[in-house]
Amino acid sequence: MSSTATTLKGQPLDKAVLDAMLRRRMFYTPSFEIYGGVGGLYDFGPPGCGLLANITDLWRKHFVLEEDMLEVDCTVLTPHEVLKTSGHVDKFADWMCKDPKNGEIMRADHFVEAVLEARLKGDKEARGQKVVEDTEDPAKKKKKKAKSEAVKLDDAVVQEYEEVLARIDNYGGSELGELIRKYDLRNPETGEIPSEPVSFNLMFQTSIGPSSNLAGYLRPETAQGQFLNFAKLLEFNQSSMPFASASIGKSYRNEISPRAGLLRVREFLMAEIEHFVDPLGGKKHSRFSEVEDVELVLLDRDTQLSGKTETRTVKIGEAVRSGLVDNETLGYFLARIHLFMVKIGVDTSKMRFRQHMANEMAHYACDCWDCELHTSSGWIECVGCADRSAYDLSVHAKKTGAPLVVRQRLDEPIVIEEWEVDVEKKKFGPLFKKDAKAVEAALLATSQEQREKLAKELTGNGKVVVSVEGVADGKAEVPAEAVKIEFRKRTEYTREFTPNVIEPSFGIGRTLYALIEHNFWTRGTEGGDEARGVLSFPPTVAPTKVLIVPLSSNAQFKPHLKKLSQRLRKLGVSSRVDDSSASIGKRYSRNDELGTPLGVTVDFQTLQDNTLTLRDRDSTSQVRAEEDTIVEAIRAIVDGSKTWADIEKELPKFEGQEVEVAAR
């Protein structure tokens, strides 16, 4: 597949034309623009809102309803302690470096990537080879600044650069610093080597309440709220496993250098699923057989490690059987993500699933695949699908002492001999006051080995000393009257385990933008005409489904327009009347740019026989029939039960207005 961006009809994508159209039609617009704007913040206009709402509605139907997921809506404001425990306070960071001359702050990995790519481009130019733009994600890069110079490189150097680029998401701060020094990477703007990369936490910090002593953050993902509600959700689900929770909501990340429109912003809509599964039994999925023949385009870890980006098309059943995808549940969700993307109108030739390399994975993940969509900004991660193992539930349980576990009745009881800790809760309160819970949690989180040692300490010294995070000196002394540690034998009738979590995490804004590019094309460029943009969204996601146009401003058309709008409204089909003075062709063109799939014209013949014309956005062909038939055709197209080709076969073709459209 070529990595240059093309339109739906294979034309080279003119980003400037598309951007101008999106601005003109107010899909989205920089926030606070009249104050100069703030990087990475965007407002959505009417068609953008329609598109967002339809994508999230389809998402809810495809995942939440189809799979009986338990939807929750948790708060954005999150106390420090929660995100400290989850690891975000310490690890949710990118590497940042600074130009010593002009003070410019850059994301270190993006900087290395941009400069190396510019050098490779220069090498190709020097060798007289064709340069293909956008080989990777320039949304991340200082593309404009990293201009290439036609300088030939050694073959070995080219290979080294390519290997670095294939693993660019894999480096830590010191490695990025080493690369900068080793390859003498300079900011093209100033000719300077940037400073050593330092870690920059991406969370927006705030304080909750007037006394400012409860530190908090705007959540960087919706996941934590779902984990903290796990025990209640399990109970809601009658303690039955596996099950999934889901949430749609805003998340916030203080990106170092937001750019490329909606692709890297500081406030964005996420739709996340946490599927809780028993870690024993190979993480099977009961509906895997329904998707095992779905073919996915995969870019695996080993291919990337060898510095390549070749993909292969594999049935997900095969990928799981061969161990390429770790387990059925992960595979099931990759296939379901693929099917969702197809449903909303993503071009499958511009979609791939890329496996994360070991160091690239988030601090909690044990296997991860990204669904990437190709755009004019290269390959963009739109969905991350990670196996987060038991990480989150375990750390929150350890910190709070809350039992974030599943208890299952065993068919055969088992006898267990082990060290047990009994805490005298009544003594703990007066002894440790506000730290009581943390001390208790620390004791209960001890391993069998530690308990054996502590038991000896308790008998020998009449007290134990345990490490407790967040208390003075990081330690607490627990006297023998407050705790018992004994080796006991017991019969278990239930099994207790911490579920593992498979998490598909969607960025709706990125998906929306990629969808726009995948459905964009232009017509009318033949014969020197100005290009007219079209967005060929599937009817289900199109912001407005029907444009209603009267032939002229004649007052006699008004009752028909009103009646038709009301009928469509009753069917739940969104429509807009355009009774402006522009020609019918212009009015249709305007709506082609908004992605409106159908157009109805009310003309003088309507007044006589109640017939209407119905126009298809993509082919511009039209049919004519009586109002009831047209309304039924609209309903069928919008709910997906019929296509335009079906309607064209059923209803008489109409040639009249097309002449006017074409002759504009």
Site of interaction with ligand ATP (CB under 6 A): 253, 255, 264-265, 268, 270, 381-384, 505, 507, 509-510
What is the distance between the alpha carbons of residues 601 and 194, in angstroms, rounded to a whole number? 61
Nearer CB in complex with ligand ATP: 317/378: 378
Whole-number minimum distance, CB 510 to ligand ATP, in Å?
4
Q: Measured from the CB atom, is 268 or 644 closer to ligand ATP?
A: 268
Taking the least distance from each CB to ligand ATP, the nearer of 253 and 354 is: 253
Smallest gap from residue 369 Cβ to ligand ATP (A): 11
Q: Can you say how many angstroms the Cα of residue 108 is from the centroid of all Cα atoms in its chain?
A: 23
Q: Helical H runs in 155-312?
A: 155-166, 173-182, 223-228, 230-236, 288-291, 301-305
Residue with tokens 């104050």: 35
For ligand ATP, the closer CB: 383 or 577: 383
Kindly tell me which of 370 and 593 has the beta carbon lying closer to ligand ATP: 370
- The secondary element (H helix, E strand) that includes residue 661 is helix 656-662
Give the nearest distance from C-beta 131 to ligand ATP in angstroms: 25
What is the C-alpha separation between 332 and 254, in angstroms, rounded? 32
Q: Which is nearer to ligand ATP, 194 or 384 (CB)?
A: 384
Whole-number minimum distance, CB 269 to ligand ATP, in Å? 9
Distance of CA 635 to the CA centre of its chain: 31
C-alpha 401/C-alpha 335 separation (Å) is: 37
* Least Å from the CB of residue 365 to ligand ATP: 9
CB nearer ligand ATP, residue 47 or residue 258: 258
For residues 142 and 510, which CB has a smaller minimum distance to ligand ATP in the complex? 510
Residues whose CB falls within 8 Å of the CB of residue 606, separated by 6 or more in sequence, listed in order = 557, 560, 612
Please report how close the Cβ of residue 552 comes to ligand ATP at its closest, in angstroms: 45
Nearer to ligand ATP, 6 or 505 (CB): 505
Identify any residues that bridge with 39 across adjacent strands, giving them in sequence order: none
CB 498 within 8 A of CB 404: yes
Report the residue number, 278 or 360, with the smaller CB distance to ligand ATP. Answer: 360
CB 312, min distance to ligand ATP, A? 22
Q: Which amino acid is at 181?
A: R
Cα–Cα distance for residue pair 130/124, rounded to 1 Å:
7
Q: How far is the CB of 515 from ligand ATP (least distance, A)?
A: 12
Q: How far is the CB of 343 from ligand ATP (least distance, A)?
A: 17
CA pair distance 294, 355, nearest whole angstrom = 18
Distance, in Å, from the CA atom of 149 to the CA atom of 122, rounded to the nearest integer, reads 5
**Smallest distance, ligand ATP to C-beta of residue 94, A:** 8
In a 3-state reduction of DSSP, which class is residue 481? helix
Residue nearest ligand ATP, Cβ-based: 507
CB 55 within 8 A of CB 344: yes
Q: In the complex with ligand ATP, which residue's Cβ is closer, 89 or 383? A: 383
Of 383 and 637, CB closest to ligand ATP: 383
Q: Report in angstroms how near the CB of residue 468 gets to ligand ATP at its nearest.
A: 31
Task: Give 382 or 476: the residue with its C-beta nearer to ligand ATP.
Answer: 382
Nearest-approach distance from CB 244 to ligand ATP, in angstroms: 17
- Sequence-distant (≥ 6) Cβ neighbours of residue 465 within 8 angstroms: 457, 475, 476, 477, 478
Instruction: Name the minimum Å distance from CB 534 to ligand ATP.
Output: 26
Q: Minimum distance from CB of 205 to ligand ATP (Å)?
A: 17
Residue written as token pair 């440790």: 432
Report cis status (omega within 30 of 0) of the bond before 242.
yes
What are the two backbone dihedrals, phi and then psi, of residue 445, each rounded to the nearest 5 degrees? -85, 0
Judged by beta carbon, residue 137 or residue 616, the one nearer ligand ATP is 137
Q: What are the start-end ranges of the E strands in 498-538?
A: 500-507, 520-523, 532-535
For 149-173, letters b (16+ CB in 10 Å) and e give eeeebeeeebebbbebbbbbbbbeb
Distances (CA, A) of 305 to 108, 134, 311, 342: 21, 20, 13, 29
Contact 327/282 with Cβ under 8 angstroms?
A: yes
DSSP collapsed to 3 states, 404-453? CCEEEEEEEEEEEEEEEEEECHHHHHHHHHHHHHHHHHHHHCCCHHHHHH
Between 368 and 438, whose beta carbon lies closer to ligand ATP? 368
Residue 241 contacts residue 499 (beta carbons within 8 Å) = yes
Alpha carbon separation from 280 to 182, 231, 390, 500 (Å, rounded): 46, 20, 12, 9
State the minimum distance, in angstroms, from the CB of residue 490 to ligand ATP.
Answer: 42
Distance CA 479, CA 427 (A): 10
